[in-house]
Amino acid sequence: MAKRKGSLWLSHDSWYLKTYINGKQRAYRLGHKRDFISKDEIHNAADRKLLELRQVTAGSMSRIPLDGFVDKWYLVTGDWRPSTKNGYRKMWKRYVSREQWAQRPLWEYQTRDVQDVLRSVANKYNLSKQTLRHFKAFLSGIFRAAIIAGFRETNPVRDTKVPRSAKPGKAVGVYTLAEVEATLSALAPLPIAHCAFAIAAYAGLRLAEIQGLDWTDIDLEERTIEVRRTRWRTFESDAKSAASRNWVPVTEKLAVALEAYGKEQRSGALFTIGLSDYTDREMKPRLRHAKVQWKGWHAARRGLASNLFELGVDDLTVSRILRHSGVQVTRDHYIRSRDKRMTEAMAQLEKGLRQEAGKERVDSQN
């Protein structure tokens, strides 16, 4: 991005940006000094203000490059969950920030340009289709923000397609009922791991939801878990969506695991340590020693969906247990087992074919 043409000024506990417009010096208040926790935040606020002024004074977006807009505006002003913002920053640094095409002005991008970007990123980093879909959504969000900010009128990502050169995604992990039992058995000496994995496998909570649980969310008499919040690293947020903020039934095995874990203390947070670091430090070595494969926390959630469906629970009910906003998400991304109804349908077809064959034999004999 071009160097800042202005200076910062602290006056009466507020930060101001001084700059020249049409030969005249102007001062713009950026905010109270308590609104900024570091110099970087002050500089970012000044850069965003200069972006606004460029649009007003130049009457052209020719000097606003994509990388500058994203780094100084989009990633700073976006109102996302902390984990989402962290993922966006990683995606930006990994695939975009050092690329020459990212230095082009925002207004220049057309659909064919973004299609070339997708193809280039797919080939250079050998990405899967699923990762490219995430990357495409990330780019679309950038241009949508540019439209809202007044730097563009159209979104060039809308009509692009994920390139055919993208490699197929890896098979996702899913725990069978037998694998759940083997994993819990191996983790029995680690009370934290045993209880947390039991919640994932028997209630289907996401890792951040497990991390955010408080003992007041557990009702062992009513056999329910109330999902209210998530915790990622040191950041606590409300549950992911309105659908996610709901209760989950507690099975007998999960109730036993919670009872055992809560013998000494049943107040405050269930888990006061970071489960992600704990997984690498304690759980994985224990499972390797027991020769039990670790498939990941989300594999337990997918496993619950698949196991319920295989046992005859309809997909709508499975979706409600996982607290998805729609059943299609459950069907497309979570159920990884064969639909018995398909086998039954084909059996009905075979039965019908046999009946027809029998009728033909009778007719030929007559």
Backbone angles phi, psi at 172, to 5 degrees: -75, 150
Q: How distant, in Å, are the alpha carbons of 44, 87, 337 from that of 312? A: 55, 36, 11
Q: Is residue 343 part of a domain?
A: no
Dihedral, CA of residue 82, residue 87, residue 89 and residue 90, to nearest 10: 140
Helix ranges (DSSP H) in 263-326: 275-278, 284-289, 297-310, 315-322
Q: Which residue matches tokens 């074919």?
A: 353
Do 90 and 124 lie in one domain? The reply is yes
Provide the total of helices (H) and of strands (E) in the chain, helices listed first: 16, 8
Same domain, 86 and 125: yes
Q: What is the pLDDT of residue 5?
A: 63
Residue 228: which domain range?
A: 177-333
What is the C-alpha to C-alpha distance for residues 105 and 67, in angstroms, rounded to an integer? 9
Question: How distant is the alpha carbon of residue 320 from its chain centre?
Answer: 19
> Are residues 29 and 128 part of one domain?
no
Instruction: Select from 15, 32, 59 the last residue of a domain.
Output: 59
- pLDDT for 23 equals 66
For residue 61, what pLDDT is reported?
47
Q: Per the domain annotation, does 1 fall within a domain?
A: yes
Considering the domain architecture, whether residues 23 and 150 belong to the same structural domain is answered as: no
Neighbours of 23 (CB within 10 A): 5
Q: CA quadruple 44, 50, 53, 59: dihedral positive or negative?
A: negative
DSSP one-letter string for 163-223 = -TTSBPPPPPP---HHHHHHHHHHTTT-HHHHHHHHHHHHH---HHHHHT-BGGGEETTTT
Looking at residue 4, its pLDDT comes to 47
Question: What is the pLDDT at residue 3?
Answer: 43
CATH number at residue 118: 1.10.150.130
pLDDT in tens, the chain (366 residues): 334 467 888 888 888 888 876 667 788 888 888 888 788 788 878 877 777 676 555 444 456 789 888 987 888 877 888 888 899 999 999 998 888 899 888 888 999 999 999 999 998 988 888 889 999 999 999 999 988 877 788 999 999 998 887 667 667 789 999 999 999 999 999 999 999 999 999 999 999 999 999 999 999 999 999 999 999 888 888 887 888 899 999 999 999 999 999 987 888 999 999 999 999 999 999 999 999 999 999 999 999 999 999 998 999 999 999 999 888 988 888 887 766 777 788 888 888 888 887 776 766 666
Which tokens belong to 305? 């969906």
Tell which of 109, 138, 170 closes a domain. 170
Tell whether 75 and 120 lie within a shared domain: yes
Copy the structure tokens of residue 215: 């003992």
Distance CA 259, CA 255 (A): 6
Q: Are residues 181 and 325 in the same domain?
A: yes
* Domain shared by 251 and 315, yes or no: yes
For residue 1, what pLDDT is reported?
36
Q: Is residue 349 part of a domain?
A: no
359 CA to centre of own chain: 57
In this structure, are 270 and 328 located in the same domain?
A: yes
Distance CA 61, CA 106 (A): 7
Residue 75 located in a structural domain: yes
Residues 304, 262, single domain; the answer is yes
Q: Same domain for 194 and 154?
A: no
Residue 324 lies inside a defined structural domain of this protein: yes
DSSP string, 28-88: EEEEEGGG-SSHHHHHHHHHHHHHHHHHHHHS--TT-BHHHHIIIIIHHH----HHHHHHH
Handedness of CA 68, 73, 79, 82 (dihedral sign): positive
Instruction: Determine, yes or no, domain membership for 366.
Output: no
**What number of CA atoms fall less than 13 Å from residue 5's CA on the CB side?**
13
Q: What backbone phi and psi angles, to 5 degrees, belong to 158?
A: -55, -45
How many domains in the chain?
3
Do 188 and 325 lie in a common domain?
A: yes
pTM: 0.70
pLDDT of residue 39: 80
Residues 212 and 286 in one domain: yes
**Of 150, 170, 190, which closes a domain?**
170
Q: Distance between CA atoms of 69 and 75, rounded to whole angstroms?
A: 9
With respect to residue 39, please indicate whether it lies within any of the assigned structural domains: yes
Q: Is residue 347 included in any domain, yes or no?
A: no
Tokens encoding 205: 């909570």
